[in-house]
Amino acid sequence: MSDILNLSALGLRDAIAAGEVSAAEATRDYLDAIEAMDKKVCAYNEIFAERAMGRAEEIDKKRSAGKTLGALAGVPVAVKDNICTSFGRTSCSSKILENFHAPYDATVAGKLESAGAIILGKTNMDEFAMGSSTENSAFNATRNPWDTSHVPGGSSGGSAAAVAARMCAAAVGSDTGGSIRQPAAFCGVVGLKPTYGRVSRYGLVAFGSSLDQIGPLARDVADSALLLGAIAGHDTHDSTSIDRPVPEYLASLDKPVEKLRVGLVKEFHSESLDDEIRAAVDKAVKIYRDAGAEIIEVSLPHSRVDTDEGGQLSSYAVACYYLVATAEASSNLARYDGVHYGHRTADKVGDIIELYSRSRAEGFGDEVKRRIMLGTYALSSGYYDAYYLKALKVRRLIKNDFDKAFENCDVLLCPVAPETAFKIGEKTADPLTMYLSDIYTISVNLAGIPGVSIPAGLSESGLPLAVQLLGNVFAEETLLRAARMYEMASGITRLTPEIVKEN
């Protein structure tokens, strides 16, 4: 592995600014790493080698000309394939958008590039971000770089795997119910879901519009702060983005939060939790206590996880989430009908209904169909009140729990997922079991608050462990500082899988 690949995004940015490394060299190294490793990991759907090199050379020219460089100048990044770019394809890992070329850039893609980042390619994902393992991609199943027989998590599995396997300096993904945090946990990287409205959704292909949020996946907390600073901010193209100044996340990062109050979520610390993950959370409690933080037990009754007689986990939040998210998705995905763009059946059809129904049947994968059907059902006449409306009310109860918790706490501590990365194929047969992967991440999206997944070492079997910190709305600064405290004290950062060392 080249030294360049070992640098953090921040380190690389500074090295390029100092003239120690050129953007072109860095980009070349990353493209080589992808070339060497992506056959095994399958993190990318598309690589923009030529374009990336061109952009890198421009950055280098700018630097030699003494021009001001952006916050990410020369840093090669990966973008999840549900974020529109005016170059290449934006497929959402779906057959229905397999050949879709967006005629515009998502605000985040534009912001990354105007900060000088080099977009290397688009990363694989669960189709339309629906899944927790990246196995629902219509193209490829991405592998976990720590053990290629395991999943990388999802839906931003490609982005997480690319960061972990050093195939990009950092990446962006999207998180609707845990889709940044859970794959970050599975791949041993830092994954941040910002407050709803902190980052523009314009150009992010919608799944659950009131839940979706773009965020960074990075090797350490500082890189996460760097990326968040570059992509956050108000956007007039997104009515739900918030007009509120973006703090200098990096500037304050190393300052520990004084009199930090850490809430330990009682309901998430249950027996059903995997022993090693439980131990990781306990260890985090100790680290914070040692750092002088106050540990407060808090309750999120409507997010609680139960185990039923059959041993199956259950939670109101999961039920609430799958109704809200699928209802919105059923509507968001109605536009893929083979008329204005996207896949259209090659069969001769009798009428417009057949054109729609067959194009969609051919273009969508099973999980996407299942969710569209569920969402359609939840909104349909006769079921609306019992399902969709009920879910919106429960959502309020879940949010109220968080509001109450944050009256006494600065951050909340809990696991990210109930287990470490599972084996490929292990959960594909039972959709409900797969949904339960999101049991600790889902209520965060319902409440709209920020959450970050931080690496917590490795399990006995060599797979990454993680803990999750949650913050109050727009408290990313505190959240990142608290995460940095943990990172510093634990010494766990920039974990490197064997596969990278072998390369």
Type of residue found at 164: A
> Which residue type, as a one-letter code, is found at position 493?
T
User: Which of 91, 94, 155, 159 is labelled catalytic?
Assistant: 155
Site string for other proteins, 23-62 (x = CB under 8 A): ----------------------------------------
Q: How many residues comprise the chain? A: 503
The answer to whether 180 touches 141, Cβ cutoff 8 Å, is: no
Please name the residues in contact with 317: beta carbons below 8 A apart, sequence gap of 6 or more: 302, 303, 398, 439, 442, 443, 446
Subset of 454-493 contacting other proteins (CB under 8 A): 473
Report the SS3 class of residue 76: strand
Binding mask 252-291 for other proteins (x = CB under 8 A): ----------------------------------------
Of 148 and 400, nearer to other proteins (C-beta) is 400
* Residues 6+ away with beta carbon under 8 Å from 83: 90, 106, 108, 109, 122, 172, 174, 203, 204, 205, 214
- Contact segment (CB under 8 A) with other proteins among 28-36, 265-273, 320-328, 491-499 equals 320-328
Helix, strand, coil shares, percent, the chain, to 5? 45, 15, 40
DSSP structure class, residue 52: H
CB of residue 474 vs other proteins: minimum separation in angstroms? 9
Whether residue 142 contacts residue 377, with contact meaning beta carbons closer than 8 Å, is answered with: no
The rounded distance, in Å, linking the Cα atoms of 144 and 127 is: 18
CB of 93 to other proteins, least distance (A): 13
Q: Scanning residues 92 to 121, which ones bind other proteins (CB under 8 A)?
A: 92, 97, 99-104, 106
Write down the least CB distance from residue 381 to other proteins, Å.
5
Contacts of 118 (CB under 8 A, 6+ apart): 23, 26, 27, 52, 55, 56, 59, 74, 75, 76, 77
Which of 327, 412, 414, 495 touches other proteins (CB under 8 A)?
327
Binding positions for other proteins, 59-98, rule CB under 8 A: 82-84, 90, 92, 97
* Surface-to-core class of residue 98, CB atoms within 10 Å of its CB (0-12 exposed, 13-18 middle, 19+ buried): middle
Provide, rounded to whole angstroms, the least separation between the CB of residue 503 and other proteins: 34
Task: Determine if 320 is a binding residue for other proteins (CB under 8 A).
Answer: yes
d(CA 415, CA 451): 11
Restricting to residues 348-367, which ones interact with other proteins according to CB under 8 A?
Answer: 349-358, 360-361, 364
State how far the alpha carbon of 52 is from the alpha carbons of 62, 235, 239, in Å.
15, 26, 32
Residue in 215, 270, 277 with CA at minimum distance from that of residue 417: 277
In the complex, the smallest distance separating the C-beta of residue 4 from other proteins, rounded to whole angstroms, is: 32
Could you confirm whether 155 is annotated as catalytic? yes
From 61-69, 289-297, 343-351, 476-484, span contacting other proteins (CB under 8 A): 343-351
Residue span binding other proteins (CB under 8 A) among the ranges 134-142, 197-205, 462-470, 494-502: 197-205
Element (H, E) at 455: strand 451-458
In the complex, least distance from residue 36 CB atom to other proteins, rounded to whole angstroms: 32
| Binding range to other proteins, per CB under 8 A, among 218-226, 280-288, 443-451, 491-499 | 443-451
Rounded to a whole number of angstroms, the minimum distance from the CB of residue 493 to other proteins is 31
**Residue 320: alpha-carbon gap to chain centroid:** 20
Task: State the number of binding residues for other proteins (CB under 8 A).
Answer: 101
Window of 138-146, 156-164, 394-402, 420-428 that interacts with other proteins by CB under 8 A:
394-402
- Judged by CB under 8 A, the residue of 288, 322, 406, 422 near other proteins is 322
The contact mask relative to other proteins for 202-241 (x = CB under 8 A, - = no) is: xxxxx-xxxx------------------------xxxxx-
Of positions 36, 297, 334, 408, contacts other proteins by CB under 8 A: 334
Enumerate the active-site residues: 80, 155, 179
